[in-house]
Structure formats: C-alpha cells, structure tokens
Amino acid sequence: MEEATSCGGVVIYRGKILLLYKNYKNRYEGWVLPKGTVEAGETHEETALREVKEESGVRAEIVSYVDVSHYRFTVPEGIVNKSVHWYLMSANSFRSKPQKEEYFYDSGFYKFHEAYHLLKFPNEKQILEEAYNLYQDLRRQNKWGHH
C-alpha cells in the first residue's frame, strides 16, 4: 500500500467558496476543492497555497488549519492511502482561471449551499462544512479579513 499526502484550501471571498470543475478525459467529472501533492521540501501550507494558485489562478492567504481527510483509491500498482490537509483561506477577488492542463474546465465562487450540493465527494463536503463553520465563527468575532 502506498501513502500519499496532499494539501488543499477552502478559499472564501465575500462569503462565497471557490470550486473547480474537473473533467478528466470524460472518465471523471465533477466539482472539487483545489488540492494537490506535497513536493519535496515544501511545508503543507506552501503546498496548499501553491496548488490553489496553480489550479485556480487565485492568490489566497491561509487563515487557519481546518482538518485532515483520508480516503483510499486504487491504481494499477495497488491501493493508495491518501491524506489531505485542508486550510481555510481568504482571497481578495472573485477572479479565477481554471488550469486546463490539469483538466479543470470551470471555476467560480459559490454560496455555501450551492457549493455543498455541487461538490462530488462526501469527504470534501465534510471539510467544507468544518471550514465554513470556522469562517462564520471568525466573522462573528470580527477576526475575518484582518490578518
């Protein structure tokens, strides 16, 4: 069994959440949160910020760590045990540009309930809920947008 680690972000701007639409050679399609594999020498925070920037064109800032999600998938070589570390991030505009080379064909910021229903994977829905609750707490405490 292979272990793999990725990092990603729940990016929020003006209460809306960044999602990406991925269509991989028509075998896989659906809305996802930006995330990707940790490269040698990178911290988890650096990976999360780089992946958000690469996949969506969005320059985000980390506000807080959210949680880690775990899942397994099968590749021809066997089973991969994947851990994804998630960060709550803020953006400073609605501008995004999906990375076509990584099979992202659309991106945008959506209201919580829209984002929740669009997301393909149950573990990403759970992370979205945790991150959004954290975001709402920070807003109530007047700590959102004052980094």
Distance, in Å, from the CA atom of 120 to the CA atom of 140, rounded to the nearest integer, reads 29
Q: Which two tokens stand for residue 24?
A: 């991989």
Other C-beta atoms closer than 10 Å to the C-beta of 45 total 15
Query: Domain 2-139 in CATH: superfamily?
Result: Nucleoside Triphosphate Pyrophosphohydrolase (3.90.79.10)
The residue extents of the domains of the chain are: 2-139
**How buried is residue 11: exposed, middle or buried, by Cβ count under 10 Å (0-12/13-18/19+)?**
buried
If residue 32 lies in a helix (H) or strand (E), which one and from where to where? Answer: strand 28-32
Distance, in Å, from the CA atom of 75 to the CA atom of 22, rounded to the nearest integer, reads 19
- pLDDT per position as a tens digit, 47-84: 999 999 999 999 999 999 999 999 888 889 999 999 99
> Under a CB-based contact definition with an 8 Å cutoff, are residues 58 and 33 in contact?
no
Amino acid sitting at position 91: A
What pTM does this model have?
Answer: 0.93
Amino acid sitting at position 59: R
Q: What pLDDT was estimated at residue 1?
A: 84
Q: Which two tokens stand for residue 141?
A: 């405490």
Distance, in Å, from the CA atom of 10 to the CA atom of 52, rounded to the nearest integer, reads 9
Please give the share of the chain, as a percent, with pLDDT higher than 90: 88
